Structure 1
Amino acid sequence: MVKSTVIGAVAAVLATLCPPGQSVHYGGTLTLAGSADIDHLDTASGYYGPTFVLERAYSRQLVTAPASRDVSQASAIVADIAAEVPTQANGGVSKDGKTYTFHIKPGVDWDAPSGRRQVTAQDEVLGIKRLCNPAVGAGALQYFTDTIVGMKAFCDGFAKVTPDIPSIARYIQGNTIAGVRAVNDRTVVFQLVQAIPDFLDIMALTFASPAPREYLKYLPDSADFRQHVISDGPYRITGYTANKEITLGRNPAWNPRTDQVRKAYVDGIHVEEGLNQQQTFDAITGGAADSQWDVPPPSAQLGALAAAHDPRLEVMDVGLLEPYVAINIISPNNNGATSNVLVRQALEYAVNKADEINVIGGPNIAQTTCQILAPSSGAYQPFCLYPSTNDQGDPDKAKQLLAQAGYPNGLTLKMIHGDAGTQPAVAKSLQTALARAGITLQLTQVPRSDFYPKYMSNADYARQGAWDIAAVNWRPDWLGDNARTYLSPLLDGSGYTANSPTFGNDYGFYNSSVTNGLLQQAFSSPDRTTANNLFHQAEVQALTDAAVIPMGHQFAVYLHTTALHNANWYPNGVIDPTNVWLDPKH
């Protein structure tokens, strides 16, 4: 009875939601196939492309970015659970740009255990407070601590709290964030440290999702939490088995009339995990799955599909920095070799970027790069500090720098990598390239599902020297003027100490007062031009310090069957599962 009501409501508004000139179909189950699990189901900490796919289905934010193939449209923030996007014209933004007021729509409900319940301003305040919980905090916490009045002080205090359920609940209930206030049940106000031009982009992230009060009963993102996720989106999690499968069905508390972004054509979503790259490809091309979950096609097939412009392969320019090499600056190995800028600069010259591009699928999929920022970023200015012929590296220059650093006979480094996708091949390519410069690379393979959440996000492994370098990737959190989304998470170490439990996405703890200062100036700049020039200076400084090794800007790729339609992939570079539909007989 409930399901019929929900489908009827969807049908009632379908005419206003369907893409013009297209015949759509609702119903069926969207099947995604892939290798690894999500990093987190808790929106406070989820920070992984496949996780964003599911979060789009079961969570909502005050504002969001629409799914569109048009970059300008996908960059235009729209209202989600807020009644409207706050502006100075409608009174939602103060004249000085430092106060944002959001009014929550009536009828946006939680699928709570006790029954459907209105999402409130207090829920939004709770969602923001949970971001810096000491158990599993947000991956890009600095977006919020840099912008919201009192957020850093609140988080500094939270960091001292014992990471257990009662201690976390007491701190949240007994402390406030000066700049986040629920005026009434449906009005929440944010006070900023200064006018922030991209604050709405930050608030569109799933980190900024409201949280129901029931979440205080669970340790954030614990195994118990993952069995009790509460939805305010069109789908709810109906089953979760770690590293095996995730299922979602329609959420009976979702009212499509309150949601102009998620169309919810399919009845359910099924994620099948545990497949390798070839098995995933075979499942999709054989019709057993509708699209990929987390791993792209194998490199040989990927290159062929891209060259043939196969309509089943979505190729998307979202400014993806992949691969790049994170360098563990605090590793104790080799008497702290990687803390020496000359060693890190030697690594910049030693890598063979051209070979890495071939390994991941060839020039139809990626282009070599000297930079962190992609050409699509508003702050991009081309430069190259470590040039080489045909981007194949300069092992002689690398040897020279190693000798100057005190390693005339080379050295041995450790690299950790995942066991799926292109990670093993990328690691082998790096091992071969570095050997030319006298650097022996010891490879350690770990499960893909553990690579980021267990190893890269846990600062203990960096401090212990479990790894010296790692090939990772980065997808910007929004489009256009988005230098903050690259440089703040990857390079700003000011929010951490050498003893922090995590360094966020600054995996190797690069922490330069010069770079941090330039970034802070950029964050506080009143206009985009000044900010983008400062972002460029920060990028140059970080690469002079050889903080990371950019190797390629890759197109995001997504393989699906011909039975899947409307695979719009902005804003997060993967398809929006709430906007696809399947052939009627599929």
Structure 2
Amino acid sequence: MIVKRVLAHRIVAACAAIALTAACTSSTGDGGNESAGQFPVNTNDEGTPTRGGTLHMLGTADVDFMDPNISYNYIGYLSQRMWSRQLLAYPAVVGKTTTPAPDVVTELPTMANGGITDGGSTVRLTIKPGVRWDTTPARQVTAADAVRAVKRACNPARPFGGMPNFESLIVGLSAYCEGFAKVDANSASAMAQYQNSNDIAGASVDPADPQTLVFKLTSPTSYFVDMLAMPVFSPVPAEYDQYIPASAELAQHTIANGPYRITKYTPTREIVYGRNPAWDAATDDIRNAYVDAIEVNQTGNAQTIQTQLQANNGAADMAWNTAPPNSVVPGLIASKDKNLNLTPNLWSSPYLVFNTVSPNNGGALSSAAVRQAITRGIDRDKLIVDLSGPQVSPPLTHVLPAGLSGTESNTSPNPHPFDEGKAKADLTDAGHESMTFKVLYPSDSSDAKSVFLTLQQQLSKIGVTVEGITANSADFYTKYVTVPSVARAGTWDVAIAQWGPDWYGDAARSYFGPLFYGNDGNPGSAYPPNGSNYGFYNNSEVNKLIEKASSEPDSATASKLWAEADAVVTNDAAIYPITSPMVPTYHSSRVHNTIVIPNYSQIDPTNVWLSER
């Protein structure tokens, strides 16, 4: 079921490009497909692992929500690694960090073991005995706890942002969510009553076994099992019914089933994790939990954090949400600093979104010919220089980064290569030899600002004047790109955005469904605010390919369909990809077994050990 299609020669090439003493590996997933895990620079795994000590993590930001079924952010996911176990999770094993493995369930469901039946339309997972909640007394996690997760996800107070990934796929979930939307969003009891009195036919407990969870799908898919590694499916206890989902009150009353529990949480300032006495290591093949405690300070800044980590004084061990600043990364690479990791995370970050419904310039961006001309006027190589160069930011010329189903290359297809003269001539032919674009970018991103300035210079050479529109990262999404009226008013023409897969492996749908499914604006469309098709791109051929690939049970066939969709979207110039960057992470010398999990863009804290305590 797991499809990873990065060729071995690409893995070797990527490592050579980094120019560091790196151990590069590939592994084979289900069905014999070649897969790419992480490309570790130095896992610092010499010596014998020891238990004990406190891991000190420094950061600049808090989780989005301390709620497993609602959090939709890599920082929230990183926090959950410590205290909230998933159905499936990504192991801290070199070469397998993007391959889902059983966490609270006994095995990965397949047709061979009977976990997948009815031609792929029914999926069963059984909860392991001994996985317990940190309650008094400790209580076994059940299949009903996993059903509760699905039911909470589309609550009216704060629904999970990735619902379009699976809402129409699980039988009965769309109707359930439609009814849930009418419940009082300010009443925890009203929401709990709705959850507990309304069933979902496609997410239930097996009547013959209270530990077995049964999913029934509207159609077979190749990707559903891989999708179950998303935390939205993580079991949650009945006690959560007392609180509004994602609320500040719930954040102070979390109940753990992982190796750690939250012992202190001061939003935007501090999180402390201590050992969970209800956790049984024998049930957990994902987390070794070597350290006794993890303390997170969220009040720093990226430059100061990097300085503290390089000081190696025991007060700073790892970053929480930051990466080494761009200004220091080339030096760390050149010096072959053994505490640096460079890891691919299969993101497209940043990329340019064209607002096809902007009325500006006579609605020019609604024309594929105009968008194609604009892309020919952009020199990707120069933008990559702004992003620390190709060692850190290798080029991406189309939608899907290599490592996901549907592609084997980051640089093919590339239908509109840089050609300034052709770009200018094509704009003249289209009747738009002079235009003004409003480019929206997050003001708190130095990368986005650098890209904007270079873009401004480049496009001026083909007759396009570029004006900047800035907003902080939060407002960029909540007040601009996810608000339809803002796009239609022409407040912005081009946005500098980023995107990453919601899961890994057979995950092409996590790009195409949210970003490019127009469906003519009909129900299921990924137009904002329900999806992330910020530019309101709509192409009937792409819509049909997405629908067909989404319901294709054979992964190889689905992969070919996703590749077709990628070619059409890229040729249409719906977006302008720039890079699928390597993620730099840094740690102090006393931290060992530093395996980066791409889903968190960070080293896994639950598997490091400390040489000095």
TM-score by length of 2: 0.83
Closer/same/farther in 2, CA of residues 40 and 409 from structure 1, 3 Å limit: same
Q: CA deviation at 1:196?
A: 2.4
Which stretch shifts more, 408-417 or 501-510?
501-510
Measure, in 1, the Cα distance between the counterparts of 2:526 and 2:569.
22
Q: CA deviation at 1:221?
A: 1.7
SS of 1:252's equivalent in the other structure is: coil
Closer/same/farther in 2, CA of residues 466 and 108 from structure 1, 3 Å limit: farther
Q: CA deviation at 1:123?
A: 1.3
Match of 2:85 among 51, 60, 80: 60
Q: CA deviation at 1:351?
A: 2.9
SS of 2:106's equivalent in the other structure is: coil
Q: CA deviation at 1:76?
A: 4.3
Calculate percent identity across the aligned residue pairs: 38
Measure, in 1, the Cα distance between the counterparts of 2:254 and 2:337.
38
SS of 2:288's equivalent in the other structure is: coil
Question: Does the 8 Å contact 2:46/2:592 carry over to 1?
Answer: no
Unaligned runs of at least 5 residues, structure 2: 1-43
Question: Does the 8 Å contact 2:517/2:526 carry over to 1?
Answer: no
**Are 2:154 and 1:132 equivalent residues in the alignment?**
yes
Q: Which amino acid aligns with 2:103?
A: D
Question: Does the 8 Å contact 1:80/1:261 carry over to 2?
Answer: yes
Question: Does the 8 Å contact 1:414/1:466 carry over to 2?
Answer: no
**Are 2:274 and 1:234 equivalent residues in the alignment?**
no
Match of 1:277 in 2: 302
Question: Does the 8 Å contact 2:98/2:598 carry over to 1?
Answer: yes
Match of 1:574 among 597, 602, 610: 602
Closer/same/farther in 2, CA of residues 281 and 192 from structure 1, 3 Å limit: same
Match of 1:177 in 2: 200
Tell me how many residue pairs correspond in the alignment. 559
**Are 2:225 and 1:225 equivalent residues in the alignment?**
no
Q: CA deviation at 1:571?
A: 5.1
**Are 2:516 and 1:488 equivalent residues in the alignment?**
no
Closer/same/farther in 2, CA of residues 99 and 317 from structure 1, 3 Å limit: same
Match of 2:414 among 357, 365, 384: 384
Unaligned runs of at least 5 residues, structure 1: 1-18, 389-393
Q: CA deviation at 1:415?
A: 0.8
Question: Which deviations, in whole Å up to 9, do the C-alpha atoms of 1:397-455 show, x marking residues without a partner?
Answer: 44445455554331131413141453332333333333333333333444445555665
Question: Does the 8 Å contact 1:416/1:446 carry over to 2?
Answer: yes
Measure, in 2, the Cα distance between the counterparts of 1:39 and 1:124.
22
Closer/same/farther in 2, CA of residues 408 and 571 from structure 1, 3 Å limit: closer
SS of 1:368's equivalent in the other structure is: coil
Mapping 1:429-440, distance limit 5 Å: 429-440=454-465
Measure, in 2, the Cα distance between the counterparts of 1:53 and 1:168.
28
Measure, in 2, the Cα distance between the counterparts of 1:275 and 1:473.
24
Mapping 1:115-126, distance limit 5 Å: 115-126=137-148
Q: CA deviation at 1:59?
A: 1.3
Measure, in 2, the Cα distance between the counterparts of 1:32 and 1:111.
24
Q: CA deviation at 1:159?
A: 4.0
Q: CA deviation at 1:538?
A: 0.8
Which stretch shifts more, 341-350 or 362-371?
341-350
Q: Which amino acid aligns with 2:602?
A: V
Match of 1:265 in 2: 290
Q: Which amino acid aligns with 2:85?
A: R
Match of 2:349 among 322, 338, 352: 322
Measure, in 1, the Cα distance between the counterparts of 2:257 and 2:405.
34
Measure, in 1, the Cα distance between the counterparts of 2:474 and 2:605.
22
Q: Which amino acid aligns with 1:543?
A: T
TM-score by length of 1: 0.86
Match of 2:173 among 137, 151, 160: 151
Which stretch shifts more, 542-551 or 224-233?
224-233
Q: Which amino acid aligns with 1:489?
A: P
Match of 2:573 in 1: 546
Match of 1:250 among 251, 257, 275: 275
Question: Does the 8 Å contact 1:123/1:213 carry over to 2?
Answer: yes
Question: Does the 8 Å contact 1:416/1:443 carry over to 2?
Answer: yes
Measure, in 2, the Cα distance between the counterparts of 1:449 and 1:32.
23
Q: CA deviation at 1:169?
A: 3.1
Measure, in 2, the Cα distance between the counterparts of 1:106 and 1:363.
48
**Are 2:116 and 1:93 equivalent residues in the alignment?**
yes
